[in-house]
C-alpha cells in the first residue's frame, strides 16, 4: 500500500497545537499509537497533547511520556473539551467512528482543526475527516503508523531514525493487538517486529511489563470464570462467560484485568466462537467481547446483535439489558446468525 504523506506533512508544517485522541477503554494499540505518535511529533518540535476518553490499564502506564501527562476525559471533561476546541490538528488513532471517543464526538465535529484518522478497523467514517489512513491488512494501528512514519522525510525508511520510546510504543500496540503474535499477523507484522528489535526495542522487557504483570486475584478470577462460569453451546461451537459486578468486587477487579480472558475458550478444539460479557461498573450496560477462529466472522455478529463492530475475528459491543437476560439473548443471536454471515 503506497502511503502518501504529502498532506500530513503540510498539516504538520502549520500545526501550532496537535491533539491525539484514542478510544474509550483504551487497549495496548490505542495507548501505543497515541504515545508513539506523540514521541515522533515531540522530536519534530510539534506541540501535542494526548487525550484518552477513559483510563488505561496500569500495565500500560509506562508508555505515558515523562514529558506529557495523558489527559483522561472522564476525569477532566472540561479540559478535554478545551484542548479539542483549541487544537489546529486533531489526530484520532485506533478508532473507526467518532462515537468510540464516547464523550468527544460533538466537540471533534465542531472543531475547526484539520482532522486526521489513522485506523485499521472496517467501516471507518471517511467523511468526518480531512485525511484518512486506513487498511485492514495490518495487525494494528501501530503497524499502520509505523508504515506512515517510515514514509516521513525525516525517517526516510530507516527504522533507526524512529525515536526509541516511539518504537517501544509501536511494538506494544502490535504485540497486544495480535495477542502476542498469534492472530491478525501479516508478513509485514513480523518484518516490523524484527526491525524494531534491531532498532533497540527490548522485546522481553516489554513482554514482561505488559503481559506478566497480573495480581493473584486476577489469576484466581480467571480460574473462577473458566471453572464455574464458562458455558459451552455445542450446537453453535461456541462458549461464553459472564462477569458480574459482584464477582469483580470479590476478586478486587482493576481495569484491564479481564484482558485476554475471551481468548481462552478458543483453545478448546471444538470451539469456534467465544464471548465474554462484562457488567459495566455503573450497571448501565454489559460490555461484549467476541472472538473467533479464522474461518468464522464475528464482526457481523457484533454489528447485528451487539451494537458494536470491530474485526473479523475480534469484535466488541454493548448490550443494554440485565445480566440475567444475556444467556438467552446470546443463544437467540447465534440461532439467527446465518451461515452466510458467519462464513463471509
- Kindly list the residues in this chain that would bind ligand 5GP in the complex (CB under 6 A): 27, 121, 262, 289, 308-311, 314-318
CB of 262 to ligand 5GP, least distance (A): 6
Give least dist CB 182 to Mn ion, A: 15
Among ligand 5GP, Mn ion, none, partner that 315 touches (CB below 5 to 8 angstroms by kind): ligand 5GP
- Give least dist CB 294 to ligand 5GP, A: 16
Q: 328 vs 259, 321, 323, CA distance in Å?
A: 24, 11, 10
Q: Which does 309 bind (CB under 5 to 8 A by kind): ligand 5GP, Mn ion, none?
A: ligand 5GP
| Run of H or E residues at 169 | helix 164-177
CA-CA distance, 51 to 226, in Å (whole number)?
35
Whether residue 125 contacts residue 131, with contact meaning beta carbons closer than 8 Å, is answered with no
Binding residue (CB under 5 A) for Mn ion from 64, 94, 143, 279: 94
Question: Dihedral of CA 258/262/266/271: which sign?
Answer: positive
Comparing CB distances to ligand 5GP, the nearer of 15 and 258 is: 258
Region of 139-147, 178-186, 239-247, 252-260 interacting with Mn ion (CB under 5 A)? 139-147
Query: Which residue is it, cell 485522541?
Result: 21
Nearer to ligand 5GP, 114 or 183 (CB): 183
Task: Give dist(CA 37, CA 53) in Å, integer.
Answer: 17
Q: Is residue 107 at the binding interface for Mn ion, with CB under 5 A as the rule?
A: no
Which residue, 89 or 142, is less far from ligand 5GP as judged by CB?
142
Q: Which three cell numbers stand for residue 45?
A: 518540535
- CA atoms of 111 and 23, how far apart (whole Å): 18
Backbone angles phi, psi at 217, to 5 degrees: -65, -35
Which grid coordinates belong to 223? Answer: 480460574
Q: All 3 cell numbers of residue 173?
A: 500496540
Where do the H-state alpha helices sit in 251-344? 299-305, 326-336, 339-342
Q: Which is nearer to ligand 5GP, 197 or 285 (CB)?
A: 285
121 binds, among Mn ion, ligand 5GP, none (CB under 5 to 8 A by kind): ligand 5GP
Closest residue to ligand 5GP: CB criterion: 316
Count of residues of this chain found to bind Mn ion when the rule CB under 5 A is applied:
5
Q: Which one, 88 or 102, has the nearer CB to ligand 5GP?
A: 102
Q: Which stretch binds Mn ion (CB under 5 A): 1-9, 28-36, 66-74, 221-229?
A: 28-36
Q: Mask 171-210, x = binds Mn ion (CB under 5 A)?
A: ------x---------------------------------
- Secondary structure of 194-254 in the HEC alphabet? HHHHHHCCCHHHHHHHHHCCCCHHHHHHHHHHHHHHCEEEHHHCEEEEEECHHHHHHCCCC
Nearer to ligand 5GP, 15 or 179 (CB): 179
From the list ligand 5GP, Mn ion, none, pick the one residue 143 interacts with, judged by a Cβ distance below 5 to 8 Å according to partner type.
none
Interacting residues toward Mn ion by CB under 5 A: 29, 94, 140-141, 177
Amino acid at each position: 500500500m503506497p502511503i502518501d504523506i504529502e498532506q500530513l506533512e503540510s498539516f504538520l508544517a502549520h500545526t501550532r497545537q496537535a491533539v491525539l485522541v484514542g478510544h474509550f477503554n483504551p487497549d495496548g494499540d490505542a495507548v501505543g499509537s497515541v504515545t508513539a505518535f506523540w514521541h515522533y511529533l515531540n522530536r519534530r518540535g510539534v506541540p501535542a497533547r494526548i487525550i484518552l476518553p477513559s483510563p488505561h490499564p496500569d500495565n500500560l502506564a509506562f508508555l505515558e511520556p515523562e514529558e506529557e501527562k495523558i489527559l483522561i476525559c472522564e476525569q477532566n471533561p472540561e479540559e478535554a473539551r478545551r484542548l479539542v476546541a483549541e487544537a489546529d490538528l486533531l489526530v484520532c488513532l485506533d478508532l473507526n467512528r467518532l462515537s468510540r471517543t464516547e464523550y468527544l464526538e460533538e466537540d471533534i465535529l465542531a472543531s475547526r482543526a484539520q482532522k486526521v484518522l489513522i485506523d485499521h478497523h472496517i467501516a471507518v467514517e471517511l467523511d468526518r475527516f480531512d485525511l484518512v489512513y486506513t487498511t485492514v491488512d495490518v495487525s494494528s494501528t501501530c503497524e499502520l503508523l509505523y508504515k506512515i512514519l517510515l514514509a516521513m522525510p525525516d525517517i526516510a525508511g530507516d527504522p533507526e531514525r524512529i525515536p526509541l520510546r516511539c518504537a517501544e510504543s509501536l511494538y506494544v500496540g502490535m504485540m497486544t493487538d495480535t495477542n502476542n503474535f498469534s492472530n491478525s499477523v501479516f508478513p509485514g507484522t513480523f518484518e516490523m517486529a524484527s526491525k524494531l528489535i534491531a532498532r533497540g526495542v527490548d522485546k522481553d522487557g516489554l513482554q514482561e511489563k505488559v503481559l506478566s504483570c497480573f495480581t493473584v486475584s486476577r489469576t484466581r478470577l480467571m480460574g473462577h470464570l473458566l471453572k464455574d462460569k464458562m458455558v459451552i453451546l455445542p450446537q453453535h461451537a461456541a462458549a461464553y462467560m459472564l462477569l458480574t459486578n459482584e464477582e469483580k468486587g470479590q476478586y478486587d477487579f482493576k481495569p484491564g484485568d479481564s484482558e485476554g480472558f475471551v481468548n481462552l475458550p478458543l483453545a478448546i478444539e471444538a470451539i469456534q466462537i467465544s464471548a465474554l460479557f462484562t457488567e459495566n461498573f455503573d450497571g448501565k450496560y454489559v460490555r461484549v467481547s467476541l472472538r473467533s477462529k479464522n474461518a468464522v466472522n464475528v464482526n457481523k455478529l457484533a454489528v447485528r446483535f451487539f451494537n458494536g463492530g470491530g474485526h473479523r475475528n475480534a469484535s466488541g459491543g454493548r448490550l443494554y439489558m440485565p445480566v440475567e437476560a444475556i444467556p438467552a439473548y446470546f443463544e437467540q443471536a447465534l440461532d439467527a446468525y446465518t451461515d452466510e454471515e458467519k462464513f463471509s
